[in-house]
Chain A
């Protein structure tokens, strides 16, 4: 133990003797680790941020839809009575922050010769206060959504700036919507532009928002009916567990679509919707899906990001390894006499090799440590910059800020890879140094 400590001290002294070289080699390692840690950190928070932002767009973490099938095989989405659905939420004591009730249609919005296809989501503006905090209005006010026309309809609509520009429509102007009722019949809505929202343009354009009562009227749903119940939980991490429990209870009480029927590589929500295409039933049948089901592809993106980070790490370190091998070969030639002296004084071959390898290991660990500190500082600085809720990459941010989540296991793995590769790079020169006959070394 004492000998090892001594060897460590000698290794540290050797590194200290060539400060510039140590700094450059350690710096290269640190640079690699910084880049990889930043990517890992970004990927780590990617799922959480995207999930949270999507939960705001979709208005929930767990979703329940009522589907009826007519005699001729057509589907009608409708939740006519949500007593049981809400009862289960209460009975299960689910950690819920908010419950949303929404209906929507996709149709053509028409304004003075221009026509564009758009999904219009009906929102209960009296209840869904949180949407006002999330939706960035560039023009107009949310209060406009509460105004009624002469028929008593709340027919305000909020369009994204992209759609408003495409239609060339301005605040207060009348927009026609050609759409279909839940039975598939043609219907016409008449909206007034109440607001223009920021369009992040990422992951597709956002929906237009209108009042639930008017959307229901156009869909021929009754005032208290709606199409999708969205349940917001207190924590994203609880989604799967709570959804499973909710589904178990729901399936005991009402007719439900089976979950997890997707084939390899298939999106779970798509599989759920296909069931409705293929099967027949009478009355209302409920389908339950979660935000994780909707975003199942996001996990794939994270896997890709982490895979890319690993490839970057390996490529960087293969380059660094070449540098380390050459440097240690140089070190060996520089220290030939020193090695000869040590060997003449009785130092064993193994210890000479261990000394070289320890130098490489300490260099690697120093670089890793420095790289992690630099990465930490960069993350800290980046996470303090407010990019705004209307940022082009808002979907990747948390409330307008970058966030990073670095998993200790991933850091340990990266450090292990770096240490392993550095030791491997130094192995041949160190072995050469160890095998050098002391007489030849002293004569050199």
Chain B
């Protein structure tokens, strides 16, 4: 009888405690990061959109840059074509494999650049418009639960796997109920906060969810901020010829 009672208590305890133990298990952040990347990447179709980049600097007038982005994530290709302002119209950034080229129609020359370069005079980088790659570029160092506005979030600290990425350390605020990033803090190699990126609005494009509005706050220079707004997003097939130097030269003339 005693044994039966002990067994019943043990079963009851296991029944009650197992879900608690399971619930206390760390979230699988590797898969969460992969999911974030998958949601923002277009591996089965092309993607193009127009981005309006508004840069504000203390004591200076707002600068508005408009650029059309063409992306073919399957082949690691992108092309950013500057539409505005008129003086920079026709300039472009072209990525083919590992190489990123900047084209200036005035000099009619291509210069090698990197995905980590800033777009024009803004705080936005080429990488901000390119496919997301948190899962392959970073490892999770630590995490905690928190809230951001009315959302429950995971606050996850990431560290770069190699020096190939612009920021050595990144902190992400990831919604718990939906795997999207609400806020990102980017840190320098020596651990200093350099910029805060806010993602207040997302848009569904095909089966993907990508930021419609991005606010980049420069943490080194008070009052310096950049806002990116995405419009005309589409997953229509882009002709192969777009991802070429010849196309940039042709459309810039």
Contact = CB atoms under 8 A, between A and B. Distances in A.
Contact of A113 (B164, B189, B194, B221): B221
Nearest to A112: B222
A222 interface: no
A94 B190 CA distance: 41
Interface residues of A, number: 22
B221 A181 contact: no
B220 A187 contact: no
B51 to A, nearest CB: 21
B238 interface: no
Nearest to A76: B163
A184 B57 CA distance: 24
A185 B220 contact: no
A188 B57 CA distance: 19
Contacts, number: 62
A72 B167 CA distance: 18
A277 B116 CA distance: 18
B76 to A, nearest CB: 12
A218 to B, nearest CB: 8
Nearest to A220: B189
A114 B221 CA distance: 8
Contacts of A112: 222
Contact of B164 (A72, A115, A277): A72
B99 interface: yes
Interface residues of B, number: 26
A110 B221 CA distance: 7
A96 to B, nearest CB: 35
A180 B194 CA distance: 12
A115 B163 contact: no
B188 interface: yes
Contacts of A337: none
Interface of B: 57-59, 98-99, 112, 114, 116, 160, 163-168, 186, 188-190, 192, 194, 220-224
21 contacts: A72-B98, A72-B164, A113-B59, A113-B221, A113-B222, A115-B57, A115-B224, A176-B220, A176-B221, A180-B116, A181-B189, A184-B116, A184-B163, A185-B116, A185-B160, A185-B166, A185-B189, A186-B186, A186-B189, A188-B188, A277-B112
Given A184-B116, A185-B188, 8 more contacts: A110-B221, A113-B58, A113-B221, A113-B223, A176-B220, A186-B186, A186-B189, A218-B190
